[in-house]
Amino acid sequence: MNKTIRRASVFCLLLVLALLGRATWVQAYQARALADDDHNRRNTIARYAQPLGDIIVAGSPVTGSKRTEDGDLAYRRTYRHGGLYSAVTGYGSQAYGATQLEGIYGSVLDGTDDRLKSPLGLLTGKRAAPGDVVTTIDPGVQKAASEALGGKKGAAVAIDPGSGQILGMVSTPSYDPSSISGTDDGATWRELLDDPDKPLVNRALRQPLAPGSTFKLVVASAALEYGLYDSVDEPTKSPAPYTLPGTRTVLRNENAAAPCENASLRVALQYSCNNVFGKAAVDLGQDKVRAMAEKFGFGEKKLDVPVRASESVYPSGMDEAQTALSGIGQFEVTATPLQMAMVTAALANGGELAAPHMVSKVTDGDGGTLEDFADGDTTRIVSADTAKQLRSAMVTVVERGTGGNARIDGAEVGGKTGTAENGVDNEGTPYAWFTSYARAGDRQVAVAVVVEDSGAAASEVSGNGLAAPVARKMMEAALRR
C-alpha cells in the first residue's frame, strides 16, 4: 500500500475512533445534563405538550391550562383570580420560567416527577399524568387581605398558630401571572420589570424591612426569659427621655404625654415607649437579644414554606447606642411580614412556634398523596408563662393602647403597632406595621401587616391607622372560616 494512503487511513481511523468515543461519552455521561439544560427547547415543548397539574385552594384549582392556537407549545398556563393568588402561586411562563409553587413543584405539575410514574414508565421515560399541589390558603382570608390593602404598597401574612398553616399571603401591588404565561408577552414582562413598585417581588416573603416597634415583642420576650424583669407589670426604672449611651442623642417617645418614665412592659407596649425598650436592649446586651430573635427565626437563611423567605436580620458588632436603637426595631434590624407573624404566632400558641407552611400535600393524577406536610411540628421559643404575660399585654395594646383599630367584638385580640423610619434621617415615607393575634372559641390566627407606602403624608403614617385595619379584616375572616 502506498505510504501516503496508509498514513491517511490510520488518521481517518483515529478520527472515527475519536468520534465514537465522543458519541459514547455524550450518550453515557452527558445525556442527562443535556436533557435537563434550561436551553434545551425540547424540555419546554414537552412541559407544555399536555395540560399541567393544578395548584389548589380550598378544594378548587386557581390554575388551569389553555390550548394554544399556533406554535410548538400545545398549552399555556392560565390563572383564576391571578392577581389575588400571585404571591402564592408565582408564575409559570413559557418564556420566563417559573417561580414559587409553580417552580418548586414544576416536575409534579408537568408529570416528570419519578414518583408519578409506574414501573414501566420509569423504564420507558414516558411522561405520567401530572399531579396537583394542595395549599393551606383560605380564600376568605386571602380576599380580605387583598381588599383591605387595596392600592397600598405592602404585604400581609396570616398563620394558624396551632398548626403553622399559612392561611393568607398577599403582596401589593400584584400582577396577573396569565399576562406573562405565553411566549409573546414581552411588553408586559418589561412593564413589570420596569415598574418602580416591583409587583413581581413577593413582599410577604422577600422584602425584609425595619420592623419598628413590632420588634419590641422580641425584646420583651428576652427581658422576661432572661430575668431582667419578673413580670410585665414590674416597673422598669427607665428614664424618659432616654439618652443613648455614649452620646448626647435623646431617644424620645412619639407621645410625649405618655406615662413612659419607669413604665412596666405592659404600659411600655401599650404606649410604645421607646425609652423602655431601648434601655432594656442595652441592659440585656445585644447577644441575649440576638439569641431570642434567632429563636423566633431571625438569622435563618433557609426558611422554606416551601417558598424560601429572605433572611430577617438582627445585627451584630453594635455599640450600646446602636443596641438601644435595635431594641425599638431600628438601626439595621430587618424583618419580613412572615417573620413578624411567626413571632406573634409563637406567643399566641403558648410559646411554641409551629413550623409555617402553605402546602398541605402534593398528590398524583389520581388524587393519591405523594407528600404530606404535617401540622403542628412545634419548637419551644419562650415559656408558657412568658407567652401568657405578653398576650395579656398585647390585649392591653388593643383595648386601651395604640392598637384600637384591630378590636373585634366577641374575640380576644392582642397586637403591637409599629412605625419604622425609612431612609437616611427618615427622609422616606415611614413603614406602618401591625402584628396581632385573635382567638374566638377554638379558632385562632396570627397576622402581620406592613404598609410600605399608602400615598399618605409621613405625618399621617401609623401602624394603627394603616396596618391595623388590614389585620382586623384578615382576623375576622380567619375566625369565620
Q: What is the CATH number of the domain that holds 354?
A: 3.40.710.10
Cβ contact 93:181 at 8 Å: yes
Q: How far apart are CA 222 and CA 325, in angstroms?
A: 16
Helices in 272-364 by DSSP H: which ranges? 274-284, 286-296, 320-326, 337-348
**Residue type (1 letter), 146:** S
Cβ contact 212:416 at 8 Å: no
Which three cell numbers, joined as nine digits, stand for 210?
Answer: 425595619
- Catalytic residue (choose from 179, 213, 312, 436): 213
* Same domain? 123 vs 227: no
Cβ contact 188:181 at 8 Å: no
* Same domain? 225 vs 123: no
* Same domain? 280 vs 428: yes
Torsion sign over Cα 413, 214, 206, 468: positive
Length of the chain in terms of residues written: 481
Residue 91 resides in a domain: yes
- pLDDT at residue 122 in the model: 54
Q: Helix, strand, coil % (nearest 5) of the chain?
A: 40, 20, 40
Cβ contact 85:358 at 8 Å: no
Of 88, 103, 135, which closes a domain? 135
Of 86, 101, 135, which closes a domain? 135
- Enumerate the β-bridge partners of residue 313: 334
Residue 115 resides in a domain: yes
* Same domain? 119 vs 216: no
Residue 395 resides in a domain: yes
Residue 231 resides in a domain: yes
Q: How far apart are CA 9 and CA 19, in angstroms?
A: 15
Strands 92-93 and 97-98: antiparallel
Helix (H) or strand (E) run with residue 340 in it:
helix 337-348
Residue 327 resides in a domain: yes
Q: What is the pLDDT along the chain (481 residues), one digit of tens a residue?
A: 567 777 777 777 777 777 776 767 656 555 455 445 555 556 677 778 889 999 999 999 999 999 988 777 889 999 999 999 999 999 999 999 999 999 999 999 999 998 987 665 555 556 789 999 999 999 999 999 999 999 999 999 999 999 999 999 999 999 999 999 998 999 999 999 999 999 999 999 999 999 999 999 999 999 999 999 999 999 999 999 999 999 999 999 989 899 999 999 999 999 999 999 999 999 999 999 999 999 999 999 999 999 999 999 999 999 999 999 999 999 999 999 999 999 999 999 999 999 999 999 999 988 899 999 888 789 999 999 999 999 999 999 999 999 999 999 999 999 999 998 886 556 678 999 999 999 999 999 999 999 998 787 776 789 999 999 999 999 999 999 8
Distance of CA 144 to the CA centre of its chain: 18
- pLDDT at residue 431 in the model: 95
Collapse the DSSP code of 454 into the 3-class scheme (helix H, G, I; strand E, B; otherwise coil) and give the result.
Answer: coil
* Same domain? 86 vs 225: no
- pLDDT at residue 12 in the model: 76
- pLDDT at residue 338 in the model: 98
Q: How far apart are CA 106 and CA 47, in angstroms?
A: 9
Which three cell numbers, joined as nine digits, stand for 287?
Answer: 447577644
Name the residue range of residue 416's domain. Answer: 205-480
Q: Tell whether omega for the bond before 173 is within 30 degrees of 0, i.e. cis.
A: yes
Residue 194 resides in a domain: no
* Same domain? 281 vs 371: yes
Which CATH number belongs to the domain containing residue 74 in this structure? 3.90.1310.10
Total number of domains in the chain: 2
Q: How far apart are CA 1 and CA 414, in angstroms?
A: 98
**Residue type (1 letter), 379:** T
Cβ contact 218:293 at 8 Å: yes
Q: How far apart are CA 268 and CA 259, in angstroms?
A: 8
Residue 155 resides in a domain: no
* Same domain? 213 vs 107: no
Cβ contact 481:140 at 8 Å: yes
Of 135, 155, 184, which closes a domain? 135
**DSSP label of 27:** I
User: Buried b vs exposed e over 161-199: b needs ≥16 C-beta within 10 Å?
Assistant: bbbbbbbbbbbbbbbbbbbbbbbebeeebeebeeeeebb
Which three cell numbers, joined as nine digits, stand for 256?
Answer: 410625649
Residue 2 resides in a domain: no
Residue 118 annotated as catalytic? no
* Same domain? 251 vs 119: no
* Same domain? 292 vs 402: yes
**DSSP label of 284:** H
Q: How far apart are CA 85 and CA 191, in angstroms?
A: 20
Q: Is 433 exposed, middle or buried (0-12, 13-18, 19+ CB in 10 A)?
A: buried
